[in-house]
Amino acid sequence: MKRFFVLACFVFVSDAFFAQNLVTVDEGDGKTEDIALPEGMVVSEEELMDDYVNKENLKPGTSVNIRDLSYDDSVIVSRLSRIPTTIEMPLNNVTRKFIDTYSGKMKRSVAVMLGSSNFYMPIFEEALEHYGLPLELKYLPVIESALRPAATSRVGAAGLWQFMINTGKKYGLEVNTLVDERRDPVKASYAAAHYLSDLYAMFNDWGLAIAAYNCGEGNVQRAILRSGKTDNADYWSIYGMLPKETRGYVPAFIAANYIMNYYCEHGIAPYETSLPQESDTVVVNNEVRFSQIASVCNVTIDELRAINPQYRRDIVPVGYALRLPSSAIESYINNEIAIASVTPSDGTIRRTVTQDVAETNKSKNRSRSSKRSRSTSSAQGGTQITIKKGDTLSDIAKRYGTTVSKLKTLNGMSNNNIRAGKKLRVK
């Protein structure tokens, strides 16, 4: 049975709403409480537009219907119940106000995120599917980062999934001078799915697991103890014991699921994004700068930054994966040596750090290759590997110096799904 946490209505000071990053809850009897908004709900519309919107094709006033389309609670409840998920999504005064925020004041921000979601949601879904998690968790980055991989929070969390450095490293994300894999859309998504899987195993309740993703498992465990609900705790039963931001976190997640499914009913249409419709990755054999790639491959530095946000100084070290629009892949492969020899736009060429990173990466690749897969010659004269648990097509492509598209073509695959124990041709 769904539990409804009874609160009186929110009190908004509309002009200061986003500036303060708080919402005030009237608890009755003259008492109020401030709840902090998740990071992804306080990103300005202008900042989102600058990151993603293809402004050359934008027709102001036509992409988002500015009419206020509001619905009775019974309609919202019915819509939430039709979202196919095992995660409880109740409507109450808290979740309703977050829904009203997304469908009202944040309409244009939602339109921007809808445009960029075409690029990111398949990545999220693949990672969640790999760990057998509810696909509705793909909307967590909406409230974490507003789908901005370059986002950094006030406390130092980074990327679409807002990993702190220690947690990121615990789940295999590398952070060094040149690379911050917390901002890598693919690797961070798999790390987040792994972390969420661990949290659910710990709490056996998705509301608590999602809350713990925001404030840490220790804070949730302490809230459970203070509530006295040690045997049957759920998010709403310990709501009052949680940190302020976490009190808004699960309601915001429910609201994000609602608006990303029912945006049309609120007069919202996606903006056209500047992200490529199709992209693929190649492993670089020579250190390369974005300016060198842009000079040959008919792609801009800004486009490279948008789809390779993990490279902190616009430098891709040897052995790392570079994502390119699909239209630029062939050009890069055919001109890789020439691209590396182009003088960078700043006139400098790095040497010593490159060699260090290259040697480290080669050592890692040898270790990973020996531990995770065995190569055998196929009857056709190619090379097969045995897929290991945790392998992805992207990881395998990087390991064998090829692309995801080539692996799929070589194996007659129509999607990116692979299974441990199966054979995969890599050459």
Per-residue pLDDT tens digits for 385-404:
888 777 888 788 878 878 87
pLDDT bin (cut points 50, 70, 90) of residue 58 is low
Which of the following is catalytic: 144, 181, 287, 303? 144
CA dist list (Å): 262 to 48, 118, 267? 21, 16, 9
Instruction: Report the distance separating Cα 183 and Cα 175, nearest Å.
Output: 10
Read off the amino acid at residue 179: V
Lookup result for tokens 């972390």: 195
- Would you state the pLDDT for residue 169? 96
- Residue 21, by phi and psi: left (phi above 0), alpha (psi -120 to 50) or beta? left
Sequence length of the chain is: 427
Instruction: Report the distance separating Cα 246 and Cα 212, nearest Å.
Output: 8
359 noted as active-site residue: no
Share of the chain above pLDDT 90, in %: 56
More confident residue, 93 or 225: 225
- Would you state the pLDDT for residue 417? 76
Q: What are the b/e assignments for 147-174, b being 16+ CB within 10 Å? A: bbbebbeeeebbbbbbbeeebbeebebb
Q: What is the DSSP string of 99-155?
A: HHHHHTTTHHHHHHHHHHHHHHHHHHHHHHHHTT--GGGGGHHHHHHSS-TT-B-TT
| 65, burial (CB in 10 Å: exposed 0-12, middle 13-18, buried 19+) | middle
Whole-prediction pTM value? 0.75
pLDDT bin (cut points 50, 70, 90) of residue 381 is very low
216, pLDDT greater than 90: yes
Instruction: Report the distance separating Cα 341 and Cα 30, nearest Å.
Output: 70
Instruction: Report the distance separating Cα 204 and Cα 187, nearest Å.
Output: 25
- Would you state the pLDDT for residue 16? 38
Residue 384 DSSP SS3: strand
Lookup result for tokens 């002009």: 15
The answer to which of 45-54, 71-80, 142-151, 269-278 has the lowest mean pLDDT is 45-54
More confident residue, 254 or 277: 254
Q: What are the b/e assignments for 352-366, b being 16+ CB within 10 Å? A: eebeebbeeeeeebe
More confident residue, 386 or 237: 237
- Residue 119, by phi and psi: left (phi above 0), alpha (psi -120 to 50) or beta? alpha
Q: What is the DSSP string of 174-203?
A: -B-SSBBGGG-HHHHHHHHHHHHHHHHHHH
145, pLDDT greater than 50: yes
Residues 6+ apart with CB under 8 A from 215: 242, 243, 245, 246, 249
Cβ neighbours, 10 Å, residue 291: 16
Residues 6+ apart with CB under 8 A from 417: 126, 129
Q: What is the largest CA-CA distance in the chain?
A: 79
Asked whether the beta carbons of 275 and 67 are under 8 A apart, the reply is: no
Dihedral sign, Cα of residue 102, residue 103, residue 104, residue 110: positive
Q: What is the average pLDDT value for the chain, to the nearest integer?
A: 83
Asked whether the beta carbons of 206 and 192 are under 8 A apart, the reply is: no
